Chain A
Amino acid sequence: MKKTPLYDVHVVLGGKIIDFGGWALPVQYSSILNEHHAVRNAAGLFDVSHMGEILIEGSGAKEFIQQMITNDISKMSPGRIVYSPMCYRSGGTVDDLLVYQLDTNRYLLVVNASNTQKDYDWLKDNCNIKGISIKDVSADYGLIAIQGPASQKILQNLTSTPLEDIRFFRFLDNVEVAGVNAMVSRTGYTGEDGFELYVAADQAVRLWEEIMEAGHQEGLVPAGLGARDTLRFEAALPLYGQELSPNISPLEAGLDRFVKLNKQDFIGKDALIKQSEQGLKRKLVGFEMIDRGMPRTGYKIQADGKEIGFVTSGGLAPTLKKNVGLALVKIQHSNLGDEFFIQVRGKSLKARVIKTPFYLKK
């Protein structure tokens, strides 16, 4: 298994290490639920160094990225971040990613760890603009996320740069945090306020320890992949491989606002326009269990005795204390209040479509 620069720290902290797509990462330190609640009420610190970073440089970089992703970065400027799906010609999803504009002709794509090589190849194979350099720079970075309402207060103790000036989906490069040079980004994957700090891989341990020390009194705890998943799930943020895949388009996943069908050509545009014009056949919905039971990823869903879809993510929403799920279902069963039956371990249990996100921060 591959190790992040923070591997030894996780072991010392008692993290329960699992194989996460080839990476040795902690699923939890104390308890997924405790870590979840800490992030909702105070703050949690996550090692997300496994994420992939792909650097795209050159005078045609913006044009190239525009061709590759569904969102529109034409009005982007340095210091801004755009979230976007990236599609195949079929309209299915290659990945969902963040685009950081570092400079006029310099962009950093932050991609899902398990997709890094695939994305890199896809970008290379589809680049027909001269003078563009595409580099996988993932190994250069350590990436630490501090998430939760106390994040700014904690981090502000470690830097003289006013963090309140960094607005949501903006970033600032070359910020000195606890003596470490960091790119500070107001982003995250938990549905809470928070920051992601990109640092040189060999500085990650020092920064982690400084932040833990500074945040201890505010209730900061180390948080693992388990809480990261329950937090993003409550906020109904898509997870590649579950809500998005080569077989699921971003329109089906409800990501319409990140798909700009009226911008210039991009890969997948024709297929997505067709989907949009003909009307979707299936759609991602949120549901809550009416019967007692636990919906899980992959469970089939029936209505009127026929299969109508499947659960993409499911389980306890710890903040709501309800068993809920996300599901891809036939469009005629996707209206609020629609009822269907989740096939849970040999039983057919009733569920009802509710609005998403399940959790929205105050």
Chain B
Amino acid sequence: MKILEDLKYAKGHEWVRVEGNRAYIGITDFAQDELGDIVYIELPEVGAHVEVDDIMGSIESVKAAADVYAPVSGEIVEVNEELETSPELVNEDPYDAWIAVVEMADSGELDNLMDAEEYEKFCEEEA
């Protein structure tokens, strides 16, 4: 299982990559492996406001459905439309296949997320 050092992680197995005030959000390698073949992704709407733990999309694999929860609050400013036609990109490279970008309302929320080491432990406990 792949965990990247420079990302932040949420308990819902979302990852966050911070660029300035923008948070790129995707799901982790652990999450895509648990789901199996991903066949459908529902993206959030650009312009929508999300609070931490709001549902900001869903991912469906052949066998299961999972919600994607907002790891930070703010406005959705971009979504990865490529995933609508190629949802399998999340299986192929989960850390490249971001789902949406949130313009953060409070970057202090990042402190509530896990770093790579903490997330690795978290996954071990879940497995």
- In the complex, the chain A residue whose C-beta lies closest to that of B88 is A33
Check B40–A345 contact: CB distance below 8 A: no
Task: Determine if B62 is an interface residue (Cβ-Cβ < 8 Å).
Answer: yes
The interface residues of chain A, by DSSP majority, are classed as mixed
Q: Could you tell me the distance in whole angstroms from the C-beta of A349 to the nearest C-beta in chain B?
A: 11
- In the complex, the chain A residue whose C-beta lies closest to that of B39 is A316
Q: Which residues of A contact B86 (CB under 8 A)?
A: none
Check B36–A28 contact: CB distance below 8 A: yes
Task: Determine if A249 is an interface residue (Cβ-Cβ < 8 Å).
Answer: no
Check B62–A315 contact: CB distance below 8 A: yes
Q: Which residues of A contact B52 (CB under 8 A)?
A: none
Q: Which residues of A contact B40 (CB under 8 A)?
A: 292-294, 316, 323
Q: Which residues of A contact B36 (CB under 8 A)?
A: 16, 27-28, 31-32, 226
Q: Which residues of A contact B37 (CB under 8 A)?
A: 31-33
- In the complex, the chain B residue whose C-beta lies closest to that of A27 is B63
Which of B37, B39, B42, B84 gathers most chain A CB within 10 Å? B37
Question: How long is the Cα–Cα vector from A160 to B9 in the complex, in angstroms?
Answer: 59
Q: A31-B36, A32-B36, A323-B40 are in contact. Are A230 and B65 (CB under 8 A)?
A: no
Q: Which of B50-72 contact A (CB under 8 A)?
A: 58, 60, 62-63, 65
Q: Which residues of B contact A62 (CB under 8 A)?
A: none
**Interface range, B side:** 10 to 19
Q: Which residues of A contact B58 (CB under 8 A)?
A: 345
Q: Could you tell me the distance in whole angstroms from the C-beta of B86 to the nearest C-beta in chain A?
A: 12
Q: Could you tell me the distance in whole angstroms from the C-beta of B30 to the nearest C-beta in chain A?
A: 14
Task: Determine if A350 is an interface residue (Cβ-Cβ < 8 Å).
Answer: no
Check B62–A316 contact: CB distance below 8 A: yes
Q: Could you tell me the distance in whole angstroms from the C-beta of A17 to the nearest C-beta in chain B?
A: 13
Question: How long is the Cα–Cα vector from A46 to B63 in the complex, in angstroms?
Answer: 18
Task: Determine if A10 is an interface residue (Cβ-Cβ < 8 Å).
Answer: no
Q: Could you tell me the distance in whole angstroms from the C-beta of A350 to the nearest C-beta in chain B?
A: 16
Q: Which residues of B contact A230 (CB under 8 A)?
A: 62
With A230-B62, A292-B42 given, name 16 new contacts (CB 8 A): A16-B36, A28-B36, A31-B37, A32-B37, A32-B62, A226-B36, A226-B62, A229-B63, A293-B42, A294-B39, A294-B65, A315-B39, A316-B40, A318-B62, A323-B40, A345-B58
- In the complex, the chain A residue whose C-beta lies closest to that of B63 is A226
Q: Which of A278-293 contact B (CB under 8 A)?
A: 292-293
Q: Which of A1-59 contact B (CB under 8 A)?
A: 16, 27-28, 31-33
Q: What are some 20 contacts across the A-B interface (CB < 8 A)?
A: A16-B36, A27-B63, A28-B36, A31-B36, A31-B37, A32-B36, A32-B37, A32-B62, A32-B63, A33-B37, A33-B62, A226-B36, A226-B62, A293-B42, A294-B65, A296-B65, A316-B40, A316-B62, A318-B62, A323-B40
Q: Which residues of A contact B62 (CB under 8 A)?
A: 32-33, 226, 230, 315-316, 318
Check B63–A294 contact: CB distance below 8 A: no
Question: How long is the Cα–Cα vector from A276 to B39 in the complex, in angstroms?
Answer: 40
Q: Could you tell me the distance in whole angstroms from the C-beta of B51 to the nearest C-beta in chain A?
A: 17
Which of A16, A296, A315 gathers most chain B CB within 10 Å? A315
Q: Could you tell me the distance in whole angstroms from the C-beta of B78 to the nearest C-beta in chain A?
A: 20
Q: Which residues of A contact B42 (CB under 8 A)?
A: 292-293
Q: Which residues of A contact B63 (CB under 8 A)?
A: 27, 32, 226, 229
Question: How long is the Cα–Cα vector from A63 to B95 in the complex, in angstroms?
Answer: 63
Q: Could you tell me the distance in whole angstroms from the C-beta of A315 to the nearest C-beta in chain B?
A: 7
Which of A32, A230, A292 gathers most chain B CB within 10 Å? A32
Q: Could you tell me the distance in whole angstroms from the C-beta of B67 to the nearest C-beta in chain A?
A: 8
Q: Could you tell me the distance in whole angstroms from the C-beta of A6 to the nearest C-beta in chain B?
A: 21
Q: Write out, one digit per residue, whether chain A residues 221-262 have a CB within 8 A of any chain B CB (1) or not (0).
A: 000001001100000000000000000000000000000000
Question: How long is the Cα–Cα vector from A293 to B42 in the complex, in angstroms?
Answer: 8
Q: Write out, one digit per residue, whether chain A residues 291-317 have a CB within 8 A of any chain B CB (1) or not (0).
A: 011101000000000000000000110
Which of B36, B60, B62 gathers most chain A CB within 10 Å? B62
- In the complex, the chain B residue whose C-beta lies closest to that of A347 is B42
